[in-house]
C-alpha cells in the first residue's frame, strides 16, 4: 500500500479526542490517517463509524487500521513494522493515548496508581516516539505532537489554578511536557517541528464525560498544535489561548 498524502498516526484513536482528530484530519482530504487501537477490530469499527457519519464526509481509503498497545513493546514493534511495510515512512505522530483516574475510583493503592498512570502517559509515549523516529526521519512533514493538558502546568498550579484535582494525572502531563521539549530541542536541527497540545477539558471516557467542552473542539486544537507554524508551536504547549506556561 502507498499513498501520495502525508501519513499521520494517532495513538489511542478509536475513541474520544483521538477519534475526532482522525475524523477531522481525513476529512480535510490532505492526509492518510493511521487509526490505532489495542484491538485491530476496534480500529476498523472506528473507521467504519467515521465513514458512516454523514455530518463530516470521509472516505474509507483515507484510513488504515493499525493495532497498537503503547504499553507493550512488542505491540509497538509490530505497529512500526506494519507502517514500514505499508508506507515506508511516517510523516506525523500524534501521541494522544492516555489514562486518568482518581485513587478512589481506581481501587489502586497510591504507588500502584502512580505506576499505572506513568506507564501509559509518560513511559509508553516516550517509547512509542522513540520507536517511530526512524520512520519519521524518512517522512517529509516531520511533526510530532504530545497531547498534554493545562493541568500539567506547574506555573498555573502554583498560582492556584485547578488546585487539588487529579494530582497523579497532572504530574504525568508535566513529565510529558519535559519529554516533548527534549525531542523538540534535540531534533529541530533535522527539520522536526515538535510541540504539545492542551485540548481543554473535553467530555470523553477519560473523565467519564464530565468535561464541559465538546471533544470535536478539542480535536481542532490538537490539529492546530500539530500543524501550526513552527514559531507558534515548536517546543511549547499550545491551547485555545495560545502558548501556555510550563
User: How far apart, in whole angstroms, are the C-alpha atoms of residue 179 and residue 174?
Assistant: 9
Strand partners, 242: 239
Q: Is 31 a catalytic residue?
A: no
Pick the closest to residue 223 from 152, 141, 153 (CA basis).
Answer: 141
Contact present, 140 and 232 (Cβ < 8 Å)? no
User: How far apart, in whole angstroms, are the C-alpha atoms of residue 112 and residue 105?
Assistant: 13
Q: Which residue has the cell 513552527?
A: 230
Residues with Cβ < 8 Å from 52, sequence gap 6 or more? none
Torsion of CA 53, 216, 39, 99, to 10 degrees: -160
Q: Is 173 a catalytic residue?
A: yes
Pick the closest to residue 136 from 180, 94, 91 (CA basis).
Answer: 91
Q: What angle do CA 62, 65, 69 make, to 5 degrees?
A: 140
Identified catalytic residue from 19, 31, 169, 183: 169
* SS3 assignment, position 200: coil
User: How far apart, in whole angstroms, are the C-alpha atoms of residue 22 and residue 11?
Assistant: 10
Identified catalytic residue from 173, 183, 201, 224: 173
Catalytic residue numbers, as ranges: 169, 173
Amino acid at each position: 500500500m502507498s499513498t501520495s498524502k502525508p501519513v499521520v498516526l494517532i495513538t489511542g484513536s478509536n475513541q474520544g479526542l483521538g477519534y475526532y482528530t482522525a475524523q477531522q484530519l481525513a476529512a480535510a482530504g490532505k492526509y492518510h490517517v493511521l487509526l490505532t487501537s489495542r484491538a485491530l477490530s476496534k480500529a476498523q469499527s472506528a473507521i467504519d463509524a467515521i465513514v458512516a457519519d454523514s455530518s463530516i464526509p470521509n472516505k474509507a481509503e483515507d484510513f488504515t487500521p493499525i493495532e497498537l498497545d503503547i504499553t507493550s513493546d512488542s505491540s509497538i514493534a509490530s505497529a512500526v513494522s506494519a507502517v514500514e511495510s505499508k508506507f515506508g515512512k511516517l510523516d506525523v505522530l500524534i501521541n494522544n493515548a492516555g489514562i486518568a483516574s482518581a485513587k478512589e475510583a481506581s481501587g489502586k493503592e497510591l504507588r500502584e496508581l502512580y505506576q499505572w498512570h506513568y506507564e501509559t502517559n509518560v513511559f509508553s509515549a516516550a517509547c512509542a516516539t522513540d520507536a517511530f523516529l526512524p520512520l519519521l526521519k524518512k517522512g517529509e512533514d516531520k511533526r510530532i505532537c504530545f497531547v498534554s493538558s493545562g493541568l500539567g502546568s506547574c506555573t498555573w498550579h502554583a498560582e492556584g489554578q485547578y488546585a487539588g484535582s487529579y494530582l497523579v494525572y497532572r504530574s504525568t502531563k508535566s513529565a510529558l511536557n519535559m519529554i516533548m521539549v527534549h525531542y523538540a530541542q534535540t531534533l529541530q536541527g533535522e527539520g522536526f517541528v515538535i510541540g504539545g497540545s492542551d485540548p481543554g477539558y473535553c467530555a470523553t471516557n477519560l473523565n467519564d464525560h464530565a468535561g464541559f467542552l465538546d471533544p470535536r473542539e478539542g480535536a481542532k486544537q490538537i490539529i492546530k498544535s500539530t500543524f501550526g507554524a513552527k514559531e507558534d508551536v515548536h517546543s511549547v504547549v499550545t491551547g485555545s489561548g495560545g502558548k501556555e506556561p510550563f
